[in-house]
Amino acid sequence: MNAWMAGDVTISGILLTAAYLICGALCWHCARQSAVAPGAGIKAVERARFRYRFWLAAAVVLVLIGVERQLGVLTLLANHGRTLLFRGGLYYERRAIQLPLVLALAGLGLMGLVIAVIANRRRGWPILLALVGMAVLLSFTLVRAVSLHSVDGWLDQAWRMFTVANGIELAGILVTAGAAWGFVVQVRGERRVERLRMLSIEQRRRRLRDERRAREGGV
């Protein structure tokens, strides 16, 4: 029960949780769309495997973040960490620990994003865009778990029923969802080209058969 009480049960929190789950379902759909036709080449199979694993991982991460928003596991862990600091007499010096930790997380997140983008620069723009969206969401989740008061004060600034934190999360979700939608469109285009190519091959075969029959008939 306490775990649920630690979650975000506000209207904006519930809507964002639903957005995480919907985006996760869209990524799962992308993973299912990654299959290739039987008889495809080695490169096509390897590309399909990477796409499947990437979008499946994205779907799992999004669902976990969405569920965590309501369970509040990271919040409970952060509270437990504060308790340990208080017992150790370091609670009032926690900013000396939190600020370097936030900077380290931000630096590692940016470094990881740059490395991932460079390593996958030829995978297509939907995957690169999804990497950006996922990096934003993961970095935000980890930074928020550290709970630096000066950062929290800025993130909790509200406009209507939404806060700055909600806006950052929504931006990351929309970027990832846009990337997933772009991937679906890309795959449909690739399949259309493949069908046209196969049709062209079949037409050439039919023409060769007709020419062979014409020669045989002439003989």
Give the model's pLDDT for residue 168: 87
Contact at 8 Å (CB) between 33 and 183? Answer: yes
Give the model's pLDDT for residue 158: 62
| Burial letters 31-48, b for 16+ CB under 10 A, else e | bebbebeeeeeeeeeebb
pLDDT tens across the length of the chain (219 residues) = 343 445 677 888 889 999 999 999 999 999 998 876 555 567 778 888 899 999 999 999 999 999 888 887 666 666 666 666 566 665 556 566 666 767 777 777 788 888 888 888 888 899 999 999 999 898 888 777 766 555 555 565 666 667 777 888 899 999 999 999 999 999 888 877 777 776 666 676 777 777 777 777 655
Instruction: Print the domain residue range for 45.
Output: 2-218
**Long-range CB pairs of 36-43, under 8 A, 24+ apart, other chains included:** 37/194
Give the model's pLDDT for residue 190: 81
Q: Which two tokens stand for residue 81?
A: 């960490």
Query: Does the reported pTM lie above 0.85?
Result: no
Angle between helical axes of 73-87 and 125-146 (0-180°, round to 10): 40
Give the model's pLDDT for residue 3: 39
Domain count within the chain: 1
Rounded Cα distance between 105 and 213, Å, is 71
Give the model's pLDDT for residue 23: 95
Rounded Cα distance between 21 and 27, Å, is 10
Give the model's pLDDT for residue 208: 73
**For every residue of the chain, which 3-state class applies, written as one string?**
CHHHHCCCCCHHHHHHHHHHHHHHHHHHHHHHCCCCCCCCCHHHHHHHHHHHHHHHHHHHHHHHHHHHHHHCHHHHHHHHHHHHHHHCCCHHHCHHHHHHHHHHHHHHHHHHHHHHHHHCCCCCHHHHHHHHHHHHHHHHHHHHHHCCHHHHHHHCCEECCEEHHHHHHHHHHHHHHHHHHHHHHHHHHHHHHHHHHHHHHHHHHHHHHHHHHHHHHHC
Contact at 8 Å (CB) between 80 and 91? Answer: no
